[in-house]
Amino acid sequence: MRWHAQPGQKITVDGVGLEVACYGPPPGKAPTLVMLHEGLGCVALWRDVPQQLSEATGLGVFVYSRRGYGASEAGNAPYATDYMTREAEDVLCKVLNAAGLGDVILLGHSDGASIACIYAGSVSDMRVRGLILIAPHFFVEPAGLAAIRQAGDDFRSGDLRAKLARYHDHVDDVFYGWHDVWTSPAFGNWNVADAIDHLRIPVLAIQGRSDPYGTLAQIDEIEARIYSPLETLVLEGCGHAPHLEHRGATAQAITEFCARLIRLEQATIALA
């Protein structure tokens, strides 16, 4: 894989071509921020955030579209209720290996934040040095389900399908894979909060107070269960995408968190 941000590059994981893009210094020159997208996201829907974060932090940034998303090859819809756990435990390590990454900081948004937390809490991978969780979810909330059902109405009879089709080659699989599993009766008891118990790396959690898909109960769950260092940022007047809605405050928190983490790692190495 060549380290560049030009579109059209793919890596192969389990025989499936996954769309990727890379920014800033390559592995070996600096740690890498690995960005894991939301339930309807992909490489392109991060917009210019990866480039901006690379410039602000001085780190490499690696983004990819999960199977079936964006320009990645066809997915595995309909999703099983444990699709985020499967992505974390069966796929993410292979992605990091295929990209040739060394030390990484996982940065996940929504579904991607849940996947990142599950990975850090259940897979022994010493490359993972820190965790940034944007609008994470660990359990189902009624308000979030209502927002997902509303998105279903918008997709069927509004303009949401047309908007998403600009970014996803398999737009119906993407949407209904996400929507149908979340709104299924079997998903009502979904809970992955036990992953928090096993975290042993610094964590930054960012949440919009007006997020329709999750309340501050998700952040409270982290605070109640975590044993490792935790920083939180709650943004007023902010919905589900702090990195797009409150770019400055979100980028500043991420940049400062990464800088502190790297200083701590360098100090530890010096003492050793």
- pLDDT band with cut points at 50, 70 and 90 for residue 22: very high
pLDDT tops 70 at residue 271 = no
CA distances from 181 to 82, 83, 133 (A): 9, 9, 22
pLDDT tops 80 at residue 206 = yes
Mean pLDDT of the chain: 95
pLDDT tops 80 at residue 269 = no
- State the average pLDDT over residues 245-255: 98
The dihedrals phi and psi of 168, each to the nearest 5 degrees, come to -120, 130
- State the average pLDDT over residues 29-57: 97
Q: What is the pLDDT of residue 265?
A: 76
Whole-structure pTM value: 0.96
Tokens of 63: 């983004």
Q: What is the pLDDT of residue 151?
A: 98
**What residue spans of the chain are helical by DSSP H?**
49-57, 83-86, 93-98, 111-122, 142-157, 160-165, 171-182, 194-197, 217-225, 242-245, 247-271
Q: What is the pLDDT of residue 141?
A: 97
Q: What is the pLDDT of residue 75?
A: 73
Task: Please give the helix or strand (H or E) that residue 108 lies within, else none.
Answer: strand 104-109
Sequence letter at residue 121:
G
pLDDT tops 80 at residue 5 = no
pLDDT in tens, 224-238: 999 999 999 999 999
pLDDT tops 60 at residue 83 = yes
3-state class (DSSP) for residue 149: helix
- Domain limits, the chain: 10-271
DSSP per-residue codes, 39-100: TT--TGGGTTHHHHHHHHH--EEEEEPPTTSTTSPP--PSPPTTHHHHIIIIIIHHHHHHTT
203-208: strand order across its sheet: 10-13, 16-23, 60-64, 32-36, 104-109, 128-134, 203-208, 230-235
Q: What is the pLDDT of residue 136?
A: 98
pLDDT tops 60 at residue 272 = no
- State the average pLDDT over residues 72-93: 91
- State the average pLDDT over residues 157-165: 98
Q: What is the pLDDT of residue 268?
A: 65
pLDDT tops 90 at residue 267 = no
User: Which CATH fold topology does 10-271 show?
Assistant: Rossmann fold (3.40.50)
CA distances from 20 to 32, 38, 187 (A): 14, 15, 30
Distance of CA 171 to the CA centre of its chain: 19
CA distances from 107 to 68, 134, 160 (A): 20, 8, 26
Instruction: Answer with the residue of higher pLDDT: 109 or 8.
Output: 109
